[in-house]
Structure 1
Amino acid sequence: MTTIATRSAADVAISVAATIDGIFATIDGWRDLLEDRLAAADALTAETVDPLVETFAVPAVSGTTLLTGAGFVAAPGALADAQWHLAWWLGTTSSADGVRRLATIDDPSHEQFRDYTALEWWRVPQATGARHLTGPYVDYVCTDDYTVTVTTPVMRDGAMIGVVGADALVDRLERVLLPVLRTGRSPATLVNASGRVVTSTDARREPGSMLRGDGLIAAVRALSPVPVRLADGTSVLACGDTSLALVVGI
């Protein structure tokens, strides 16, 4: 006889958090490196910043990894030689080494220029001074696919000089997270702080769709480590401090 082991929702949430925390820890390490190396620089320039970013971004998106993009995005005017600047690398199979640098348009007068300071992955860390998980969203700039982006501020002399971060394709995250969700005793859906689905054991709940219900969003944003039971029988609990929540039950 084969016994199928099942785990509590709390244990599942802990396992989900461990995966996301690994990404957070990596990005925090990049931030610390940049802040340490740039603190003593006489002037910040793309010429000096880019090679430093490349040392961690390229390995991060090379080979088999959850990450598909990584790098640094400068605050407008922070670099002496570039008003707008991204140093971002993408994992790809289209080039010989499997990695390419993201081509960007940095001239505000160009019709295809995009002000990245209006985007969530920039705007929220700038406002809060803390790391932020954006998505899932369709990343039309880099992948044209559902993506999760994690960014955190890089500081110098008390001012934010940019954000450092990484992209992870949702389908790659699903390969890791779905087996974890399936070890639970009940159907489970992983959502972000807006109730948007990251992945689910219910095939009807596709990544990027919104999960709705009375009291759901309030429970998700409460990020309680203890399951909060809703009127429809579902329960919601935080996945550590990742800003993601696990919705289990019906």
Structure 2
Amino acid sequence: MTVTVDVTAQLIAQRIASTIDPVFAMIDGWRDAVERAIATEPEPRAATLDPIIAALVAPELERPGSLITGAGFVATPGFLLDAPWHLAWWLSGANTFRAAPDAGLRRLDAVNDPDSEQFRDYTTLEWWRVPERTGTRHLTGPYVDYLCTDDYTVTITTPVMAAGELAGMVGTDLYVARLERVLLPVIRESGHPCSLVNASGRIVTSTDPHRATGALLRLDGLVDALTPLRNAVTETDAAVLPSGATIVPCGDTSLALVLEG
């Protein structure tokens, strides 16, 4: 069924996509660079790969006004000869998680020993599991990221391949509060009560103060309408819910506008 969508809503969805798309393009570029670096190493090691990752992500993490607060590479367990479990992840000065006194760029102090009580198997987390399954980029969140930010976060990850096998993920973290400052003024232009949700129906930001960030938006039919986004279908049509709310996908970001009333 073809759904007629207000032109303003379409433009807002396009503007949201245009905010996220440069982050996607940046991550895709990192992936390509990491895959090229790995291809030159018959026995990939963290000792040689980590400086490459740092050089890739540092410029954007240090750029004034950047949306991202953390970025790097997470290796498939056992892929790197000298680091069975490995996160090469850097945090910007704007990242308040265990901030350094000088508020400068710093590396995440991750626990990589499976025998430690503080160890966390990152392959069980959504930002790993979904792109591992789909083979494509994935946006996780909003969720409280106790590993890297300790605050509501959106994480974008994409698979890195080596000889047809998964070598790991490259990705980035964005504070939801920072995204809200950029996106909320845009969605307010819709003239409707409006929420921006992820592919699971979890609220990123909303014009309704009763719609809390990170909460699930519970509308009849919403989960089914968002199924194509969860399945990484890039060409997704608008839809109307039984309540009359309209769902407008925001490009291939896996985000959608929900306009009520």
TM interval, short-chain normalised: over 0.9
Match of 1:99 in 2: 105
Match of 1:79 in 2: 80
* Residue 249 of structure 1, CA deviation: 2.0
User: Which has the larger displacement, 105-114 or 221-230?
Assistant: 221-230
Matched letter for residue 122 of structure 1: W
User: Which has the larger displacement, 123-132 or 66-75?
Assistant: 123-132
1:190–1:197 CA contact under 8 A, matched in 2: yes
Match of 1:44 in 2: 44
Q: Aligned to 1:123, what secondary structure does the other structure show? A: helix
User: Structure 1 pair 222/81, CA: closer, same or farther in 2 (3 Å)?
Assistant: closer
Matched letter for residue 54 of structure 1: A
Match of 1:3 in 2: none
- CA deviation string 1:104-139 (max 9, x = no partner): 111111111111010110111111111110000001
Could you tell me which of 199, 203, 212 is aligned with 2:218? 212
- CA deviation string 1:66-95 (max 9, x = no partner): 101000000001001010000000113634
Match of 2:182 in 1: 176
User: Structure 1 pair 116/74, CA: closer, same or farther in 2 (3 Å)?
Assistant: same
- How far apart are the structure 1 equivalents of 2:160 and 2:228? 27
- How far apart are the structure 2 equivalents of 1:237 and 1:111? 44
2:37–2:49 CA contact under 8 A, matched in 1: no
- How far apart are the structure 2 equivalents of 1:122 and 1:101? 20
Q: Structure 1: any 5+ residue segments left out of the alignment?
A: 1-5
1:220–1:237 CA contact under 8 A, matched in 2: no
- How far apart are the structure 1 equivalents of 2:60 and 2:90? 9
1:7–1:184 CA contact under 8 A, matched in 2: no
Match of 2:27 in 1: 27
- How far apart are the structure 2 equivalents of 1:102 and 1:95? 15
* Residue 7 of structure 1, CA deviation: 5.6
Q: Aligned to 1:69, what secondary structure does the other structure show? A: strand
* Residue 214 of structure 1, CA deviation: 1.0
* Residue 35 of structure 1, CA deviation: 0.8
- CA deviation string 1:182-220 (max 9, x = no partner): 122322110011110001111111210110111111112
Q: How does 1:65-144 map to 2 (within 5 A)?
A: 65-92=66-93, 94-96=100-102, 98-144=104-150
Q: Aligned to 2:226, what secondary structure does the other structure show? A: helix
| TM-score for the superposition, normalised by structure 2 | 0.90
Match of 2:240 in 1: 229
Aligned pairs, how many? 245
Q: Structure 2: any 5+ residue segments left out of the alignment?
A: 1-5, 95-99, 230-234
Identity %: 55
1:201 aligns to 2:207 (yes or no): yes
- How far apart are the structure 1 equivalents of 2:16 and 2:103? 31
- How far apart are the structure 2 equivalents of 1:204 and 1:118? 32
Q: Aligned to 2:252, what secondary structure does the other structure show? A: coil
What's the Cα RMSD here?
1.5
* Residue 97 of structure 1, CA deviation: 5.8
Match of 1:148 in 2: 154
User: Which has the larger displacement, 142-151 or 59-68?
Assistant: 59-68
